[in-house]
Amino acid sequence: MRIEQDIKLDFKDVLIRPKRSTLTSRSEVDISRDYVFLHSQRKYRGIPVIAANMDATGTFEMARALARHKLSVALHKHYGEEELLAFFSETTKSAFNFYSMGITPPDFDKFRRVMDRCGGTIQNVCVDVANGYTKAFIKFIHALRAAYPDITLMAGNVVTGEMTEELILDGVDIVKVGIGPGSVCTTRRMSGVGYPQLSAIIECADAAHGLNGLICADGGCTSPGDLAKAFGAGADFVMLGGMLAGHDECGSELIDIDGQRKMRFYGMSSREAMDKYAGGVAEYRASEGKEVLIDYRGPVDGTVQDILGGLRSACTYVGASRLKELSKRTTFVRVTQQLNEVFGPATP
């Protein structure tokens, strides 16, 4: 048994300190990024925000809506082959959207069939597992990279610098960072495993950038300010689930409760998801997600405007004319310790 004494922080534990700026308007801020991926050598230009590969947010409709704003989607992995073929045959195939998959032989076989039938037009792949520390996961990454050397590969999830480095050296272009921070994820409560998300981003970004790799901060953002903190901490991409849920473009059921319109939102390791896609929770495991009802929020465009407006505002407060500069101009001020000293620790 070992205890790490270093302080680890979440988004709620810090604020960004303002700095002098020559910017006079949020409109002067460029929040797009340009990347050349380490292994695929493909080029990217866009706003590096990705809708999570959950069946509520990782939909074709969300991809079409976000493409208008130069944002991206990681499609959920439960679409059928014919649906995926139709989508990747559209003009949206040129957008920065991801085909998502697990690491089982059927996952690989399905991807191979879709890739063959669509003429290799799928350029971006997200390999998504809850635990990116397993030997089986690494073995799958090796096989996928060897079979498709030209794809841009995002994979995870991990939370430590050492594993980030290993994944990049093994062929991953974008390492997905986060274990347990999502609003409908219960991994931390059910297993006791996790890592404060802000510290995970800082440490994994440092490891990735030393090898010319990139990271995607996955989970934990509940407000535009959290995105600013993630990018300020060094994230190259940020993945959102709950912040994009509840919209017309989501694959969620709209229900009426006492005259209020709500939409269901659940984690992909929840009982609800496993009942829907796997015939129930296997006897050897427990659910590590939950279902919640969230307010219906209409079209996603308004939420996107709020997110991007908040991000531009953060840049103006620290004098960053481009999103690329935000991490270089970010100084975090720790706030939770000061509040605890005055009011005592928060009750659970």
Residues labelled catalytic: 185
CB 275 within 8 A of CB 282: no
C-alpha to C-alpha distance for 156 and 174, rounded to whole angstroms: 9
Q: Please give the C-alpha separations between residue 60 and each of 38, 74, 164, 304, in angstroms, as whole numbers.
A: 28, 10, 30, 17
Name every residue whose Cβ is closer than 8 Å to that of residue 28 and which is 6 or more positions away in sequence: 316, 321
Burial class (CB in 10 A: 0-12, 13-18, 19+), 36: exposed
Burial class (CB in 10 A: 0-12, 13-18, 19+), 92: middle
CB 95 within 8 A of CB 118: no
User: Residue 339 corresponds to which amino acid?
Assistant: L
Alpha carbon of residue 102 to chain centroid? 16
C-alpha to C-alpha distance for 130 and 54, rounded to whole angstroms: 13
Q: Please give the C-alpha separations between residue 301 and each of 149, 249, 315, in angstroms, as whole numbers.
A: 35, 10, 21
Name every residue whose Cβ is closer than 8 Å to that of residue 85 and which is 6 or more positions away in sequence: 114, 117, 118
Name every residue whose Cβ is closer than 8 Å to that of residue 91 and which is 6 or more positions away in sequence: none
Q: For residue 264, how many other CB atoms are within 10 A of its CB?
A: 17
Q: What is the phi/psi pair of residue 9, to 5°?
A: -125, 150
Best CA proximity match to 125, nearest among 105, 144, 103, 99 = 99
Buried b (16+ CB within 10 A) or exposed e, 234-245: bbbbbbbbbbbb
